[in-house]
Structure 1
Amino acid sequence: MVHEEELLDGAARVLAGDHSASMVQIAAGIGTSRATLSRRYATREALLKAVAVRAIEVVDGCLAPLDLAQNADATAFDTALEELVVALLPAAHLYGFTSRDATVLADPAFRAGVDRQDQRALAFLGLGQRLGRLRADLPPYWIWYSLWGLLDAAAEGVRDGHLAPRQIGHLVLTSFLSGTRPSAPPPAGAPAP
């Protein structure tokens, strides 16, 4: 018997690849029957709502590294940032679907959960900017959205068979950091570019 979390994660993976997938297609994509899926979720909308609740719960769990004290140092921030990226990788398929589905986005409870998560992430990213570990010239929302964009691209690359799951952690982290870290100042006395 498929556990609830596995079923919802599987449904999210199918829906991330095809937002219009029917209950029959979703069931086939997760290796169960439509009857089994329908016993748990009477309608596609009920399934979508359950996937959205699962997405909020999973991402909430991933945000634990963000709970640094405001007086944390750069090393603690860097460690927490890496832990965040690694934690979010398995959640990318949930985000990939829920962030684009009109039914899910219209749900006030889902929107409230996303807004709460965004505020938590923005406070963390603001700390990174104050510590000089993230570029201060980029809006924190842009940094947060950029991370999710990379995570979504990584999930798609794995789903399409172009990337190995073991590669994406390194790829996402290095791509993210190369665009969000401040440039190193030139050594003293070096000519300006």
Structure 2
Amino acid sequence: MGRPLRADAARSVRAILEAAEQVLAQDPGASMEQIAEQAGVARTTVHRRFANRQALIEALAASAKRQLLEAVEDAHMDTAPPLVALHRGTANVLRTKSVWRFTLGHPLADTPLTEVIWSEINAGVLEFFARAQHEGLLAPDTDLLWARRVYYALVDEAQHGGGAGLDPEQVRQNADALATLIVDTFLRGMGPHG
């Protein structure tokens, strides 16, 4: 890995990544020039930081997956009461995913680094579900791999609204309410019965 960027270079990279997410979410075929314009930087600055479009998409993916991991970690899934951690983690993930709609849904953004981060997220969620099961939040006979798949599907459904295309700002503003709906739905199917 190269040396750390100077503060001004780091700011321009952050501006380029934020602009790229916005522009590509509106037009997946947008040019590097359009991204530079949205970021308020010269086209040469974008090309200096990112050799090509794929390099930019890979940088977007790494940034998005790191923020998704931070959102999960911020829920303190290993120490907070399971119901609190589940709700907080869900709301955090919804907020993060609403910012990175293009990148987190783009198959070309998968790289060895993002696969490592995603594996860490998956393993953490599975460990959390095992703890939640041990502490009685999930039924003793719950298939935890299936529970994780169902949970992810519920988050995705809340994010995209069954094709209704919820506005990212609506998702951010309503993340707590959506998290409550997801957690309630999830626990009715996976929680203790009877």
Question: Which residue of 1 is the match for residue 180 of structure 2?
Answer: 174
1:97 aligns with 2:98: no
Question: Which residue of 2 is the match for residue 128 of structure 1?
Answer: 132
Question: Which residue of 2 is the match for residue 189 of structure 1?
Answer: none
* Change in CA separation of 1:36 and 1:124 when aligned onto 2, cut-off 3 Å: same
SS of equivalent to 1:174: helix
- AA in 2 matched with 1:179: T
Question: More deviation in 13-22 or 171-180?
Answer: 13-22
- AA in 2 matched with 1:41: F
Instruction: Output the TM-score relative to the length of structure 1.
Output: 0.71
Question: Which residue of 2 is the match for residue 146 of structure 1?
Answer: 153
Question: Which residue of 2 is the match for residue 116 of structure 1?
Answer: 120
Contact 1:16 1:96 in 2 (8 A): yes
Q: How many residues align?
A: 176
Pairs within 5 Å for 1:54-65 = 54-64=63-73, 65=75
Which residue of the other structure, out of 67, 73, 83, is the alignment partner of 1:78?
83
Instruction: Output the TM-score relative to the length of structure 2.
Output: 0.71
Question: Which residue of 2 is the match for residue 22 of structure 1?
Answer: 31
Query: Among the aligned pairs, what percent are the same residue?
Result: 23
Cα-to-partner distance string for 1:112-135 (whole Å, 9 max, x where unaligned): 221121111121123223434346
Extract unaligned runs of 5+ from structure 1: 187-193
Contact 2:94 2:175 in 1 (8 A): yes
Question: Which residue of 2 is the match for residue 42 of structure 1?
Answer: 51
Extract unaligned runs of 5+ from structure 2: 1-7
* Change in CA separation of 1:77 and 1:46 when aligned onto 2, cut-off 3 Å: same
- AA in 2 matched with 1:10: A
1:23 is displaced (CA, Å) by 1.4
Aligned residues: CA RMSD: 3.1
Cα distance in 2 for partners of 1:5, 1:77 equals: 34
- AA in 1 matched with 2:156: G
Cα-to-partner distance string for 1:134-185 (whole Å, 9 max, x where unaligned): 463671322341254046327x5224x7x3742x213321221232013786
- AA in 2 matched with 1:12: E
